[in-house]
């Protein structure tokens, strides 16, 4: 972070290296660049969505060092030297991740705006707790708002992704 | 929503951070998790020209038990660090549970306990339980270090008694004679909602009698407040249903809530009455939960 240049307007531009979905990106950013805008505008990773931009809705959820955070409240410069996973990095091969498959199968996606954040929260939950109870699933996605599905199908999809019986 | 321009510093030590703040006294601010500061900057309520990040200062994010001192929580520990800390879970599950009532997972992974105190929001979730357990904050500035009880950190909504060049470095929960403590939060949803009322109670019970008690209330005064009349009333008395009922009434009378879009004054007082009773009951019966 000691590396920066000062532009003609006296604004500092900092050199950062952020590992996004396994690739190290070295870029020049202003201090006020939000991680969500860095991902969307600098890296063209537009899967990460912006809703409230105030930390309330979770559409901008990404994993920072494996933990779900709202990328609208993180500065890109704060992620310098860290690992970020976005929705584009969830599927490891040409195939979708199991959670994504289950979201499709259970109709857990309608407009899809919440889905990227929802799936990353689910991913983080199942990584830490491979067999969550329904209550734990509800808690795990409580920072992600969905205006369409009514959550039930999302909860079913996550339970199914954990290989558990899904209640009706 | 975009942020105004600012310079960003990552000092390597607390001393360096305090020096940066002192040199730029009117235009620099600490950023820890940023979950309180960045929304305010997006709304144009604050526009510091310099942000001094303290999250990567070595030692500021650890939680440990120190013999003779107590449970020491580094100020840059995230709220989820507290939720999952084995030390906290073992010594004071009440503190870990209080931390879990805050916001939602994403915000708990970013937001820190130092930020929760210094933002000085009346409804903040960490102050009541920390106050009930008589916690102190270690504050460092260019002129050295001082200790302040957590309850004396706040002096008004969004205002605290820190100099602009000072940083909270740790919160200490001292060893307790208290036998139980707990925090009750009433909010309109189970996640992502601020407290309409928060009540923390800590009690020392001996022979069915309350030997000592501390009750702290959130969201019912300009700052998180101790319910001192309630405490005085309880101390030395034999535990009974009527006693706890009366304690709830005294707490409801001594708090100073306002009416806002979340709840009316009247409703808040009634919540304080009920939650004080329930919190005392739980702390008496179940220990630090
Ligand atoms: C969607 C959402 C929901 C929320 N829900 C809750 C909730 O339910 N309960 C609750 O209590 N809070 C809630 N908050 C508020 C906030 O997340 C917490 O108060 C959090 O703990 C703030 O910590 P931070 O590290 O992010 O603070 P920052 O934003 O980094 O800092 C806040 C203020 O404190 C100062 N500061 C930070 N650390 C220090 C330090 N160590 N020394 C000196 N000054 C310092 C900063 O300069 C700034 O003025 C919520 C916020 C959001 C966005
Ligand atoms: S856009 Fe980040 S939480 Fe809503
Ligand atoms: S599917 Fe539309 S917001 Fe969730």
Do A66 and A118 fall into the same domain? Answer: no
Residue ranges, comma separated, of all CATH 3.30.465.10 domains in chain B are 63-173
Do A52 and A112 fall into the same domain? Answer: no
Do A16 and A79 fall into the same domain? Answer: yes
The domain defined by B7-53 folds into 3.30.43
Do A116 and A153 fall into the same domain? Answer: yes
Is residue A166, in this structure, part of any structural domain at all? no
Cα-atom radius of gyration of chain A, to the nearest Å? 17
Domain final position from A89, A122, A139:
A89
Within 8 A of B61 by CB-CB distance, chain A residues are none
Integer angstrom CA distances of residue A112 from A38, A73, A97, A107, B106: 21, 22, 16, 11, 20
Tell me which residue of B140, B111, B106, B136 sits closest to B125, measured CA to CA. B111
Q: Which domain holds residue A84?
A: 4-89
Residue ranges, comma separated, of all CATH 3.30.43.10 domains in chain B are 7-53
Predicted pLDDT at A2 = 61
Do A117 and A153 fall into the same domain? Answer: yes
CB contact under 8 A, A74 and B110: yes
Domain final position from A89, A106, A138:
A89
Do A17 and A35 fall into the same domain? Answer: yes
Instruction: Count Cβ–Cβ pairs < 8 Å, chain A vs chain B.
Output: 81
Predicted pLDDT at A1 = 55
> Structure tokens of A104?
């499709």
Is residue A110, in this structure, part of any structural domain at all? yes
Residue of A nearest to B80 (CA): A67
Do A74 and A9 fall into the same domain? Answer: yes
> Structure tokens of A166?
């899904």
Extract the residue ranges of chain B whose pLDDT is less than 50: none
Domain harbouring A120, CATH code: 1.10.150.120
Within 8 A of B38 by CB-CB distance, chain A residues are 73, 75
Is residue A126, in this structure, part of any structural domain at all? yes
Angle between helices A152-161 and A115-128 in degrees, nearest 10: 40
A113 C-beta neighbours (distance < 10 Å), count: 18
Q: What ipTM does this complex have?
A: 0.96
Domain final position from A89, A124, A150:
A89
B196 C-beta neighbours (distance < 10 Å), count: 20
Extract the residue ranges of chain A whose pLDDT is less than 50: none
Do A60 and A8 fall into the same domain? Answer: yes
Alpha-carbon distance of B166 to B29, in angstroms, equals: 10
For A42, list phi and psi in degrees, rounded to 5.
-85, -40
Is residue A50, in this structure, part of any structural domain at all? yes
The domain defined by B180-286 folds into Enolase-like; domain 1 (3.30.390)
Residue of B nearest to A63 (CA): B106
* CATH number for the domain whose boundaries are B63-173: 3.30.465.10
Alpha-carbon distance of B140 to A19, in angstroms, equals: 34
Angle between helices A115-128 and A98-105 in degrees, nearest 10: 130
Do A78 and A149 fall into the same domain? Answer: no
Give the CB-side neighbour count of residue B159, counting CA atoms within 13 A.
4
Integer angstrom CA distances of residue B27 from A98, A162, B2, B258, B268: 49, 50, 19, 33, 38
pTM exceeds 0.90, yes or no: yes
Is residue A117, in this structure, part of any structural domain at all? yes
Alpha-carbon distance of B233 to B280, in angstroms, equals: 13
Q: Is the CB of A141 under 6 A from ligand 3?
A: no
Predicted pLDDT at A165 = 78
Do A21 and A59 fall into the same domain? Answer: yes
Domain harbouring A51, CATH code: 3.10.20.30
Number of domains composing chain A: 2
Is residue A76, in this structure, part of any structural domain at all? yes
- Does residue A55 sit at the B interface (CB-CB below 8 Å)? yes
> Which atom from ligand 3 is nearest to the alpha carbon of A147?
3
Angle between helices A152-161 and A98-105 in degrees, nearest 10: 140
Is residue A8, in this structure, part of any structural domain at all? yes
Predicted pLDDT at B285 = 97
Alpha-carbon distance of B50 to B153, in angstroms, equals: 24
Tell me the nearest-neighbour CA distance from B115 into chain A, angstroms. 14
Do A12 and A64 fall into the same domain? Answer: yes
Do A9 and A64 fall into the same domain? Answer: yes
- C-alpha of A52 from chain center: 15
Is residue A168, in this structure, part of any structural domain at all? no
Residue ranges, comma separated, of all CATH 3.30.390.50 domains in chain B are 180-286
Tell me the nearest-neighbour CA distance from B103 into chain A, angstroms. 8
Using CB atoms, which residue from B4, B39, B192 is nearest to A32?
B4
- Does residue B46 sit at the A interface (CB-CB below 8 Å)? no
Alpha-carbon distance of B170 to B188, in angstroms, equals: 31
């Amino acid at each position: 972070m000691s590396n920066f240049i000062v532009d003609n307007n006296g604004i500092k531009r900092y050199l950062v290296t952020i590992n996004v979905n396994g690739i190290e990106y070295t870029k020049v950013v202003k201090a006020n660049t939000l991680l969500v805008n860095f991902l969307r505008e600098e890296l063209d990773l537009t899967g990460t969505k912006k809703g409230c931009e105030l930390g309330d809705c979770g559409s901008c959820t990404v994993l920072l060092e494996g933990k779900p955070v709202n990328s609208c409240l993180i500065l890109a410069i704060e992620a310098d030297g860290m690992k970020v996973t976005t929705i584009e990095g969830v599927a490891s091969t040409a195939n979708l991740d199991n959670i994504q498959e289950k979201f499709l199968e259970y109709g857990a996606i309608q407009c899809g705006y919440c889905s990227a954040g929802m799936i990353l929260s689910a991913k983080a939950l199942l990584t830490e707790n491979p067999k969550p109870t329904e209550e734990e699933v509800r808690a795990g996605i409580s920072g992600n708002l969905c205006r369409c599905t009514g959550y039930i199908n999302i909860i079913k999809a996550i339970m199914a992704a954990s290989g558990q019986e899904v209640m009706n | 929503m975009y942020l105004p321009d600012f310079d960003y510093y990552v000092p390597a030590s607390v001393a360096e951070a305090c020096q940066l703040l002192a040199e730029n006294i009117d235009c620099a601010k600490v950023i820890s998790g940023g979950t309180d500061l960045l929304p305010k900057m997006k709304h144009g309520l604050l526009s510091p020209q310099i942000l001094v990040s303290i999250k990567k200062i070595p030692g500021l994010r650890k939680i440990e038990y120190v013999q003779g001192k107590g449970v020491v929580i580094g100020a840059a520990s995230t709220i989820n660090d507290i939720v999952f800390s084995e030390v906290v879970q073992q010594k004071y599950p009440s503190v870990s549970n209080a931390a879990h009532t805050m916001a939602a997972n994403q915000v708990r992974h970013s937001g820190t306990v130092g930020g929760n105190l210094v933002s000085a929001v009346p409804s903040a979730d960490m102050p009541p339980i920390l106050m009930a357990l008589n916690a102190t904050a270690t504050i460092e500035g260019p002129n050295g270090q001082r200790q302040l009880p957590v309850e004396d950190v706040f002096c008004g909504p969004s205002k605290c008694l820190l100099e602009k060049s000072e940083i909270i470095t740790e919160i200490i929960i001292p060893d307790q004679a208290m036998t139980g403590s707990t925090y009750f939060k009433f909010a309109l949803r189970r996640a992502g909602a601020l407290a309409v009322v928060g009540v923390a109670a800590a009690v020392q019970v001996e022979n069915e009698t309350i030997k000592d008690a501390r009750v702290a209330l959130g969201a019912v005064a300009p700052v998180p407040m101790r319910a001192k009349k309630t405490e005085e009333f309880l101390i030395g008395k034999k535990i009974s249903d009527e006693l706890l009922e009366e304690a709830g009434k005294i707490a409801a009378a001594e708090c100073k809530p306002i009416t806002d879009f979340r709840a009316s004054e009247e409703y808040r007082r009634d919540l304080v009455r009920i939650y004080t009773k329930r919190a005392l009951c739980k702390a008496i019966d179940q220990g630090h939960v």
